[in-house]
Amino acid sequence: MKIFLDTANIDEIREAAKTGILDGVTTNPSLIAKEGRAFEDVINEICSLVDGPISAEVVSTEAEGMVAEARHLAGIHENIVVKVPLTRDGIEAVSVVSQEGIQTNVTLCFSPLQAVLAAKAGATMISPFAGRLDDIGHDGMEICAEIVEIYENYGYATEVLAASIRSPKHVLDAALMGCDIATIPTRVFNSMFKHPLTDRGLAAFLADWENAGDAVTGAVPAGAAD
């Protein structure tokens, strides 16, 4: 499963990229707005830090405007994946630009049937929002599992990108059910490295090494003859 970071914060992306395991980044208008910088400046800098799919979202609501924006965004960098909302106009736009070789991430998906429409339109990725479904009493990860099963049934090439991730458990569930990608907030990404038994075990190893002293390291006591 590929791991994307869901943020537009350059410092967060730079730190995550240092791990060598970051496969891509997803942004949206809300995340970009938080940075207080020009949209294209942020996107270009992200592309310079991560050599993988970088999602940048259209803001038009009509198909014609989405198509024009998609063509512009795709021209910014070869790694740009254009995010398009899962509306009727959005699906129409994806059907057009996918024929032109533009990569798309169909976002704000909340049902398996919506995901079928996106796949048939030629979407590169589909983003079911698990956390937001959980917020209204649905099982968001179950929707992801159903989409994975449907796509496997029919051989759709569209990748399932588990989005609106709220916890490490969401990431685990996405991996177990075979999602192609999980896009993860920085807080959750950082928490995946941590386990109390890892910390406890490392502390014990270091304490044992410290206590063993010269007997283990082979150091020669100060003043000893050669």
* CA-based nearest residue to 163, from 113, 106, 121: 106
Element (H, E) at 25: strand 24-26
Whether 121 and 94 have beta carbons less than 8 Å apart is answered as yes
Structure tokens that stand for 49 in this block: 């830090």
* CA-based nearest residue to 83, from 1, 166, 163: 163
Count the helices and strands in the chain (H runs, E runs): 12, 8
Phi, psi angles (nearest 5°) of residue 223: 90, -5
Tell me the sheet residues that pair with 66: none
What 3-state DSSP class applies to 120?
A: helix
User: Which of these is catalytic: 83, 120, 169, 194?
Assistant: 83
**How would you write 80-147 as a 3-class SS string?**
EEEEEECCHHHHHHHHHHHCCCCCEEEEEECCHHHHHHHHHHCCCEEEEEHHHHHHCCCCHHHHHHHH
* C-alpha to C-alpha distance for 179 and 126, rounded to whole angstroms: 10
Q: What is the 8-class DSSP label of residue 139?
A: -
Told to judge if 83 belongs to the known catalytic residues of this protein, a careful annotator would answer yes
- So which residues are the catalytic ones? 83
